[in-house]
Structure 1
Amino acid sequence: MSIHKKMFIFIPMLVLLMSFVSYFLFNSSRNVQESYSLMMNRVLLYKQVSRESKEVMRYLNRYVIQLDAESYSDLDRHTKLLRELRDEIGRLERNKTNALQVENYLNMMDTFLDQSWELLSNMDQDSRMKAGAYIQAEQTAGFIGEDGQALVDLELEHYRPVYEDIMQANKRINELGVYLVFTVALLSFVIALWLSTSISIPIRRLVLTAKQISKGRLDTKAPELRTGDEIGILAQTFNQMLDNMQDLMAKNVQSVEKERLVKELELKMLQSQINPHFLFNTLNAIAKLAYIEGAEKTSDLTVSVSRLLRYNLQKLDHPVTLRDEVEHAMEYVAIQKARFRERIRFVTDIDGDALEQTVPCLTLQPILENAVIHGIEDMEEGAELKLGIHMEDAHITVEISDNGAGMDERNRLKLLDSLAEDAPAPHRGKRETTGLGTANVFKRLHLFYDGMQRIEIESELGEGTTVRFILPARLDVSHKGAEEVSHV
């Protein structure tokens, strides 16, 4: 549920709950007030009738007995008001307790009004007659006051249970109101707490994650939020951004590693103080001079060294084919044959269809050189060095083996572990090779094939060593040759 929906649903719900509680309390209080007002209105009505009847008698005394003509207007006003009160009492709802008393009370009021009217109509009577009529009206007014008080007592007695019920109901309503207010307040607090925590806590987690990232800890992950709202989407997007940054940095690290290895190769190739191009031209001159003088073997050896040097002078960051690598390896073997003569035998088993496979420059020669120096250099006879290249389905297998000294399990695993990014460069020992280290070749293959290659090493002490590259096929076949097996 989105944050907008949460706000739109729960906040109006809280307002409606509070409005319902307020309306309930107001309506209950109004009902109690109406019941109380009804009772008090009836009591006050009887009291007002008694008061108005006394006022009528007072102004009758002034007008009839004291002959005060100015009091007639007041007498007429109070008489009309008394008639209105009589009509209002006649419209009141009656019960079994006071029905008869109310009827007698109304008749008494009618009698009093008739007596007042008769007294006003016979103003020309003698004083004795008017005094007698006045005394009768005064007695009737007194009876009205007494009956009115009796009716008040009856009303109070009748409404006493009702009043007690009203008070009990009012008490229950107050208690229920307190419970409702407390419940709604608690519910409002819970909903407000849920809304705030569902928004603030995920945001706080994202802020903490952002702070960790700002400190350089890119392995940090934002919390997985299953809320389904905008903050959950933000957390997912945040993690996707982190993944993209990590992938980009990994690619940058690989690119920097490739550049570092290339620079290392170039530096190692240029570590000689003699200008390589000058040396290359000098070797060509020596080869031609040896050929002219009839020293053909010396000429061939010089040409091999010249070709080896020319191959090493090319750009090391450019990929080459296995065909180029095999030709370069043959030149290296020719030089070693001139050195070891019959002590070493070089065997090749090469599938011509696989020679168009692209590989990093200087892949085979460092492995062959390592096999010669560390494997078969100390053998007096029977030394054998093999190079095999085969195509199998979608893979190219390159295998270099010797029957020399071999290595123990610890060194074998150390070479295989050199593919790790933080693995230190292996120590070569006293006998340095003239080319690149084996671990360097492994790393360049790993970078070149994006980790899709497989490298295997089989070795036992005294039984020789086999290094095997299983490469994903990247063939650009311009021609195919049959399988060839040659012995050097």
Structure 2
Amino acid sequence: MKTIRGKLLVYFLVFVVLFQVTSISIFISSNELTKSYHDSFQRFLLLNSISQKSEDLYSETKIVVTESNSDNEKDYFDAKQRLESEKDRLESSFDDANKIEIKNYINLIETFIHETELTVGFVLRDDIEFYTAHLEEARTASDYIQEAALEIIDVELTDYQSFYQNLQERNENFLLFTVFLFVTTILLAVFFALWFSKGITQPINKLAHAAKEVSEGDLLGDPVEIQSNDELKLLGNAFNDMRGDIHKLVEEIKDQSELDRLLKEMELKHLQNQINPHFLFNTLNTLSKMAYLEDAKSTSRLIDSVATLLRHSLGEIGKNVSLRDEVEVVRDYFHIQKVRFSERVRFKLDIDESCLAVEVPRLTLQPLVENAFIHGIEEKEEGGVIQLKIYQTGEIIHVEVSDDGVGMDQEKISQLLSQAKPDEEHVGHSTGIGLSNVIRRLQLQYQKEDVADIESELGKGTTIRLKLPIQGEKHANFNS
């Protein structure tokens, strides 16, 4: 997989290589022009030097003729040596274009040198006739050398004019090439910048658009397709997978939520509508005996209590009720049990009336009192005491249901508070609602876990304490 960093490095290297090749080409071309110019100029200097040294050699030859001594002869040989060196340079300096002229010119220089040698030789032999003739030949050759040098320079100047024109054309071409290179570089830079930025911004725009769709709740949009094979493609694939996973998760949550809602609705309706047959049988049996032994007033009171209890338990479970209504139901339940068990069971109420305005889920207190009776007092032959206490500390209203019954161990307490398993043992006779159900509904109502405490000791009794936030009355009605 290519990376964005790798692409940037490749583009950078391409531009660097392009500029380096261009720079090297310009340098080589300029170097060739400079060398051509330098060679031409050096030939001019060499021809001028040969002309000057031929004049020097002729002058030294005349001096030897007029004043023959060792010093003059040494100067002559030095001058001749210098001219011969320049002649050797001349042979390697000119190309084939002027080969014939240069060859003739070199022959002329050799003839001139030869004539000076003959002149000096005859001077040493003191042959005045011959050295005079050869000196004249040397002078003539020297003149020819000067004229030939001028002709060669003229030819070189003609060639140089063509070279100069070519140089001018090349300079103009260099200017055009520079402008072309500048424009081309700008266009290429703009093209690559647009192309590269498009390769980045287009996928990012697609991702941004898809992210906006997700933020608006559209999890079924078209997948983001990114054509590049760099990190952006990996990001696009990861986004598509993430959106698919979110959609699956949301659907699973919706399904689970719907399932939970239906199950809770069925459970609550089932709990609403179930009335323990044993409880009804005992109550009706009591009513029958009361009707036989007493007059209709006590029976009527008992029937009213039963009716109130049943009406409350069969009410709309999703609606909150005031704590005062719950207390009235508990009073009726107390009345029913007192009629059934006479003095075997005693009930105590310690209620702060200022706390009764707070709203709680329906069937909160009566299942707790019934739980204390069934599992705490009913099993004791001597009976016992059940107490309902309501008071306020700070922003919390405490509801305590206490009994002096058989109690329970810590494992059972932890099980009730942690909802480890269904509270099958703690199910009431009249409503079918157990302690765990009450605690769970309070947790859902107030959106907190710490809503109940249980204190119990085997053989000494149990205290169940509900902690109801006062602000809880501002919450929406509990919905199963």
> Which interval holds the TM-score relative to the shorter structure?
0.5 to 0.7
Q: Residues 13 and 93 from structure 1, CA distance in 2 versus in 1: closer, same or farther, beyond 3 angstroms? A: same
**Native 8 Å contact 2:387 2:402 kept in 1:** yes
Deviation at 1:265, TM superposition (A): 2.6
Confirm or deny that 1:201 pairs with 2:201: no
Q: d(CA) in 1 for partners of 2:465 and 2:17?
A: 80
Q: Who is 2:176 aligned against?
A: none
Amino acid corresponding to residue 29 of structure 2 in structure 1: R
CA apart distance, 1:256: 6.4
Aligned residue for 2:398, secondary structure, equals strand
1:425 to 422, 427, 452: 422
Shift of 1:362: 0.4
Q: Which residue of 1 aligns with 2:61?
A: none
Task: Give 1:331 deviation, angstroms.
Answer: 0.9
Query: What's the counterpart of residue 332 of structure 2?
Result: 331
Superposed CA offset, 1:377-408 (max 9, x none): 11122511111111222221111121211111
1:369 counterpart residue number: 370
Q: 1:202 to 1:430 in 2, by over 3 A?
A: closer
The one of 90, 100, 106 aligned to 2:49: 100
Q: Deviations over 1:321-379 (max 9, x none)?
A: 10000001111111111222212121122111110111110011111111111111111
Report the CA distance shift for 1:14/1:263 in structure 2 as closer, same or farther (over 3 A). same
Q: How far apart are 1:458 and its partner, in Å?
A: 1.6
Give the distance between the partners of 2:398 and 2:272, measured in 1 at CA: 28
SS in 2 for 1:306: helix
The equivalent of 1:225 in structure 2 is none
- Cα deviation, residue 455, structure 1: 1.7
Structure 1 position 269 matched with structure 2 position 269 = no
Mapped to 2, the partners of 1:267 and 1:257 lie a distance apart of 15
Task: Within 5 Å, give how 1:383-402 maps onto structure 2.
Answer: 383-402=384-403
Q: Does the 8 A contact of 1:399 with 1:466 survive in 2?
A: yes
Say if 1:431 and 1:361 are closer, same or farther in 2 by CA, change over 3 A.
closer
SS of the residue corresponding to residue 359 of structure 1 reads strand
Given the alignment of the two structures, is residue 415 of structure 1 paired with residue 416 of structure 2, yes or no? Answer: yes
Structure 2 alignment gaps of length 5 or more:
55-89, 91-97, 106-139, 157-191, 201-228, 475-480
Query: Hey, what's the Cα distance between the residues in 1 that align with 2:260 and 2:359?
Result: 20
**300 and 363 in structure 1: CA distance in 2 versus 1, 3 angstrom threshold:** same
Q: Following superposition of structure 1 onto structure 2, how do residues 82-93 of structure 1 map, counting pairs within 5 Å? A: 92=41
How far did residue 300 of structure 1 move?
2.0
Identity %: 32
| Alpha-carbon distance in 2 for matches of 1:21, 1:351 | 96
Structure 1 residues 342, 303: CA separation in 2 closer, same or farther (over 3 Å shift)? same
Alignment of 1:80-479 (within 5 A): 92=41, 99-101=48-50, 197-213=230-246, 216=248, 218=249, 249=253, 257=260, 260-271=263-274, 290=291, 294-381=295-382, 383-418=384-419, 424-428=421-425, 434-451=431-448, 454-474=451-471
Given that 2:371 and 2:428 are in contact with CA atoms closer than 8 Å, whether structure 1 keeps it comes out as: no
1:22: how far off? 3.3
Counterpart secondary structure, 2:382: coil
Equivalent residue letter for 1:380: E
User: Does the CA contact (< 8 Å) of 1:452 and 1:472 recur in 2?
Assistant: no
Q: Secondary structure at the match of 2:348?
A: strand
Alpha-carbon distance in structure 1 between the residues aligned to 2:272 and 2:381? 31
The answer (yes or no) to whether the contact 1:348–1:386 under 8 Å persists in 2 is: yes
In 2, the alpha carbon distance for the partners of 1:316 and 1:302 equals 23
Aligned residue identity for 2:464: V
TM-score (norm 1): 0.52
Query: Which amino acid counterpart does residue 31 of structure 1 have in structure 2?
Result: S
Is 1:30 aligned with 2:29? yes
Where 1:316 maps in the other structure, the secondary structure is coil
Conserved 8 A contact 1:445-1:453: no
3-state SS of 2:379 partner: coil
CA distance in 2, matches of 1:433, 1:375: 16
CA distance in 2, matches of 1:13, 1:260: 66
| Alignment CA distance shift 1:98-1:366 (3 Å) | farther
Residue 140 to residue 411, structure 1, CA distance change in 2 (3 Å): same
CA distance in 2, matches of 1:396, 1:430: 25
Q: How many residues align?
A: 310
**Aligned equivalents of 1:472 and 1:430: distance in 2?**
26
TM-score (norm 2): 0.52
Q: Secondary structure at the match of 1:320?
A: strand
User: What amino acid sits opposite 2:470 in the alignment?
Assistant: A
Partner of 2:459, secondary structure, is coil
RMSD, matched Cα: 4.9
Give per-residue Cα distances to partners, 1:200-253, cap 9 Å, x unaligned: 333333233334445x3x3xxxxxxxxxxxxxxxxxxxxxxxxxx69x958x96
Deviations 1:140-171 (A, max 9, x none): 69x959x97xxx9xxxxxxxxxxxxxxxxxxx
Q: Residues 381 and 424 from structure 1, CA distance in 2 versus in 1: closer, same or farther, beyond 3 angstroms?
A: closer
> Which amino acid in structure 2 is aligned with residue 311 of structure 1?
H
Instruction: Indicate the SS of the match to 1:398.
Output: strand
Higher helix share: 2
Quick one: distance in 2 between partners of 1:318 and 1:430? 22
CA distance in 2, matches of 1:349, 1:338: 21
Secondary structure at the aligned position of 1:458 is classed as strand
Amino acid in structure 2 at the alignment position of 1:199: L
- Say which SS state the counterpart of residue 424 (structure 2) adopts: coil
SS in structure 1 of the partner of residue 455 of structure 2: strand
Opposite residue 100 of structure 1, the aligned amino acid is S
Matched residue SS, 1:456 = strand
User: 1:156 maps to what in 2?
Assistant: none
Structure 1 residue matching 2:315: 3-state secondary structure: coil
| 1:356/1:475 contact within 8 Å kept | no
Match of 2:174 in 1: none
Letter in 2 for 1:101: I
* SS at 2:301 equivalent: helix
Please say if residues 384 and 404 of structure 2, whose CA atoms lie closer than 8 Å, have aligned partners that are also in contact. Answer: yes
